[in-house]
Structure 1
Amino acid sequence: MLKILSMLVCYYHADLRKVIVEHLGSLEIVKVNAASLEKVLCEFFEKNNIPWNNLVSMLMDSCAVMRGSKTGLEIRMHQYCPNLLDIDGDSCHHIHNAAKKFSEPFDSYLEKLFSDLQVDHQWSPDQVMYLKEIAMILNLPASSPQRGFVPHRWLSAYDASMATYAMMPAYRVLYYGFLSTADKELYREPLELMYTKYHVNQAGRARIKVVQEELNRKVTNEEEYVLCFTGMTPQGRERKKRVCQKLWHEETTTVLRLSIYMGLLAILKEYVMVFQGSQTLVHKLHDRQLELFLAFMACFVKAEHITQALREMVLEDHMLLPSKEVYVGQEADTFRSQNPNHALLVPFLADVRKAYITTAVYLQKKLPLASPTLTALSALDPLLRGHSQATIQLKRLSGMLRHLLPADQDIQRELVRFNVDLTIPSFKEGESIVEWWGHVFDKPDKYPSLSAMVKCCLSIFHGPRVESSFSLMNEVIEQRSGNMNVPTFNAIQTVKYTLQSRGKTAVQLFRREDVKFGEVDRTLCKNINSAAATYKRQQKMNQKEKQQQQSKYGSQASGSAQQAKKQTAEEEKRARLRHVAKQRKRAMETLVVQAKKKK
């Protein structure tokens, strides 16, 4: 099977005064291994007369073919470019894999629920409609389960957890209709309590009952039921049973696991959100990874045992917090304090501890917490200028990139001058690091070597930018264009990235030369105006219909699902910070007591 190797290149564009990403090339690959990739890359560089010395670093995922410690592609590339900077693999991939590690002790309990909910609603538009109607009656911001868990992106479990937790009451009301007669009797009182909690009036309750009856038709045997959907498969019936099991029979287990996911995975998600964007943040890699690891460890390790030697730290039982103090998320913490002897609590906390330890070991192994390269790159931060460590680290960085710097210039003298140069403006909050370094680049006579070095460093890939090329690839190669040859695809990708890097749109590209006297397409203008009018009219009708329903069921306008998610995330973050502060205070008290005993 033919495969495509896509290569992106990142560099500082002097005319645009920014770091841009362009498509270098797409190549046909028949057999994927390190040797074949090495051969293809060498042929490409030779054909296009690209000097190997121009290569500063390579960013790939951490599979054995790409970054194997003995025969991986990156190791092979060192024979052509011995000064290649080692910035490790894509750290965002490491974080996604860490989320996967964390979920392993829970046997993908929630992930299976997310997938079942997603599949159950994906091909049932009427069920989605009923779900949103129930959410409106309960005054909940509705979100669709179709935008839930993505198996190859494990941190999507965080987003799915937030959405599922927010919609949990609506899901429970909806799937109550699929319960057997005996189970309906068993859970009738909790359902009534839910109605009372969410202030559902009689009209709303009557409508919900109609919805439940439309979704399910009971038969004589109370242990079985027949769904009214025509063509419902046995797999569909089993899927609904699994969902009902987790929403009603195992509600406590589901909520506890949602709580730990929402609380803990937020730490990992925050890191990925920083580096998956298009901003140049290579100077933040080391600090952010260190902050991430410390924040993660503080959730289950005693503060006094979290030392600076994080890479060599070995976790032992006496270093871990007791089960009643481990961070488990806001909802689970409330349950733990109110039900300290609950039967489900012990196995849950055991799984949480196992998840913490295995994930910490993985992060400790995969994150380059002691990388001298990333430490040196941190000195690019404009806020460090004026500190002696900035000069020291920039000197180390210049040693790593000596082959790219002018041989007749003394970069150490430039660094000393740069650190105290009053003509360089201070870094302003919100300013791009590339824009700030542009002030230094404007002084080529004063800082020739420093400018060359920094331009190389700012061009280092540090996020999953290659993933975006896959998205563009899916837009180009689809079912109707499956036979497109690779050179054509290569040309399309090159054009797309060129337009993207220069900030051009299709409208800008095809705009009229003479805006005032150029020919106007009257038909196009008419269609645009009529389309806008139709859209606005439909929006007003939808809004009016929604207001009528809210008035009928006595519900109020709820905020957006995004706002609700943001509020929940902020509450979880505050709870986590309170936990860390509490443990730090206890650690200080312990150290004070130990110091007094020594005296």
Structure 2
Amino acid sequence: MVTVVTTSTILLKSFVNLSKFEHCVERLFDDLHIDFKWSSESRDLIAELCFLFDLNYSVQPRFVPHRWLSAYDIALATLRLYDVYRLFYFPFVDNMSTYRKEIQAIMNKLPTTKPQLRVQSIFEILKLKYKTMTKEGKSRKQRIVERLFHNNVKTSFILNFYASALPMLKQYVPLFQTQAPKIHKLHDAQVDTTRKLLASSIKPEKLVDLNPKQMASSDVGSVINNLKLNQIFIGKQARDLIKDCDEDHRNQLLILVRVSRA
């Protein structure tokens, strides 16, 4: 029983430490959910954008903080429509010229100029719509713009990291939540999941033959045992996303991941 509790503390800590990402994408989840839940016009416009890109639209699910694993499913849903979200919120950007090339690159994915012209007309509709919004609505739009444009790389990085890292935990949780989990199976699953989590940021030779109590030791996560920043697991999509960033920016994002596992 002690080993089950010991490894559970590591798993719980993994979720609690997601807060060290400054709730960047969780706040985005909330704002996107509210923005489309109460506006049928906004839903119609973004659904049309999705149609142009041959995507099915569904309202952004609500993120429930105490159901922390929902961050995985919502991250996937957000990534699926990420380009469309950027198109929808582009008219609310103050310095549009800064991001026009990025937006044009998204529009170039459309097969002909006709749908591109329709996107431009939707931009004009949204610009007019912004003028009549409430102060709260405008503030929400600007928070979303901050994440999708000004901090786009960080937002995309965290979303892709969640999409790659959280499946390790998602496989374990259903067993934990069963009405009467068999303790030996629960223990084995916890130990296996804990080892995988630790291996994503700790040198493999430091994990060989460790028992659950040793894995929970603070010594395991000491600096001397850490993988180099460029070796920690973040997932292929997140890795590809930051490969062209300057070294300082890239290291800042990787340090975020390391701190979240500390």
Shorter-chain-normalised TM-score: which range?
A: 0.7 to 0.9
Out of 40, 43, 50, the residue aligned to residue 135 of structure 1 is: 50
2: distance between equivalents of 1:179 and 1:339?
24
Return the alpha-carbon distance in structure 2 between the equivalents of residues 93 and 126 of structure 1: 46
Q: Which runs of 5+ in 1 are unaligned?
A: 1-84, 218-225, 358-599
Task: State whether residues 275 and 281 of structure 1, in contact with CA within 8 Å, keep that contact through their aligned partners in structure 2.
Answer: no
Closer, same or farther: CA 86–340 of 1 in aligned 2, 3 Å: closer
Q: CA deviation at 1:305?
A: 0.4
- Contact kept in structure 2, 1:92 and 1:272, CA below 8 Å: no
Which has more strand, going by share of residues?
Answer: 1
1:345 corresponds, among 250, 255, 260, to: 250
Higher helix share: 2
Which residue identity does 2:66 align to in structure 1?
Answer: H
Inter-CA distance 168–340: structure 2 relative to 1 (3 Å threshold)? closer
Quickly say closer, same or farther: Cα 1:131–1:94, change in 2 above 3 A.
Answer: farther
SS in 1 for 2:213: coil
Whose relative contact order is higher, 1 or 2, with alpha carbons under 8 Å and at least 6 apart?
Answer: 2
Letter in 2 for 1:247: L
Task: Output one character per residue of 1:350-409: Cα deviation in whole Å (capped at 9) or x when no partner.
Answer: 11111112xxxxxxxxxxxxxxxxxxxxxxxxxxxxxxxxxxxxxxxxxxxxxxxxxxxx
Secondary structure, counterpart of 2:107 in structure 1: helix
Q: Partner residue of 1:267?
A: 168
Query: 1:298 is aligned with what amino acid?
Result: A
Match in the other structure for 2:26: 111
Deviation, structure 1 residue 98: 3.5
> What are the equivalent positions in structure 2 for 1:402-421 lying under 5 Å apart?
none
Percent identical across equivalent pairs? 26
- C-alpha distance in 2 between matches for 1:88 and 1:319: 24
- Aligned residue number for residue 190 of structure 2: 289
Determine which of 149, 166, 185 is the counterpart of 2:63: 149
- Equivalent of 1:316, from 217, 222, 227? 222
Distance 1:179 1:86 in 2: 54
Sort the Cα spacing of 1:279 and 1:311 in 2 relative to 1 into closer, same or farther, 3 A: closer
- Note if 1:327 corresponds to 2:228: no
Aligned residues: 256
What is the SS of the residue equivalent to 2:229? coil
Q: Secondary structure at the match of 1:216?
A: helix
Q: Secondary structure at the match of 2:248?
A: coil
- Structure 2 counterparts to residues 42-81 of structure 1, below 5 A: none
Pair 1:227 & 2:130 matched: yes
1:249 Cα shift? 1.7
Superposed, 1:540-579 pairs within 5 Å as: none
Question: Which letter maps to 2:202?
Answer: V
User: Counterparts of 2:37 and 2:118 in 1: how far apart (Å)?
Assistant: 23
Instruction: Tell me, yes or no, if the aligned pair for 1:263 and 1:329 is still in contact at 8 Å.
Output: yes
Aligned to 2:205: 304
Give the aligned partner of residue 356 of structure 1: 261
Question: In the TM superposition, what whole-angstrom CA distance separates every residue of 1:262-321 from its partner, at most 9, and x where no partner exists?
Answer: 111221112113343568544410110011101101101111100323423412222110
Residue 102 of structure 2 corresponds to which residue in structure 1?
190
Aligned residue identity for 1:104: S
Aligned partner of 1:420 in structure 2 is none
Which of 208, 221, 226 is the matching residue for 2:119?
208
When structure 1 is superposed on structure 2, of 323-332 and 277-286 the one drifting more is 277-286
Residues of 2 paired with 1:308 and 1:155: CA distance?
27
Distance 1:322 1:86 in 2: 32
Kindly provide the amino acid, as one letter, of the partner of residue 211 in structure 1.
I
C-alpha deviation, 1:179, in angstroms = 1.9
Note the 1:427-576 alignment, pairs <5 A.
none
Separation in structure 2 between the aligned mates of residue 340 and residue 190 of structure 1, nearest angstrom: 16
Consecutive unaligned residues in structure 2, runs of 5 or more: none
Partner AA of 1:263 in structure 2: S
Quick one: structure 1 residues 296 and 239, their matched pair in 2 at CA, closer, same or farther if it must change by over 3 Å?
Answer: same
CA distance in 1, matches of 2:206, 2:14: 24
How far 1:102 sits from its partner (Å)? 2.5
Scaled by the length of structure 1, what TM-score is found? 0.40
- Rate the CA distance shift 1:293–1:99 in 2: closer, same or farther, 3 A: closer
Which residue, out of 149, 160, 166, partners 1:248? Answer: 149
Partner of 2:72: 158
- 1:120 equivalent to 2:35? Answer yes
Deviation per residue, 1:46-78 (Å, 9 max, x gap): xxxxxxxxxxxxxxxxxxxxxxxxxxxxxxxxx
State the one-letter code of the partner of 2:101: E
CA-atom RMSD in angstroms: 2.6
Q: Which residue matches 1:239?
A: 140
Q: TM-score, normalised by structure 2?
A: 0.87
1:524-578 superposed Cα distances (whole Å, 9 cap, x missing partner): xxxxxxxxxxxxxxxxxxxxxxxxxxxxxxxxxxxxxxxxxxxxxxxxxxxxxxx
| TM-fit CA distance, 1:186 | 2.2
User: Equivalents in 2 of 1:121, 1:189: separation in Å?
Assistant: 26
Change (3 A) 1:228 1:298: same
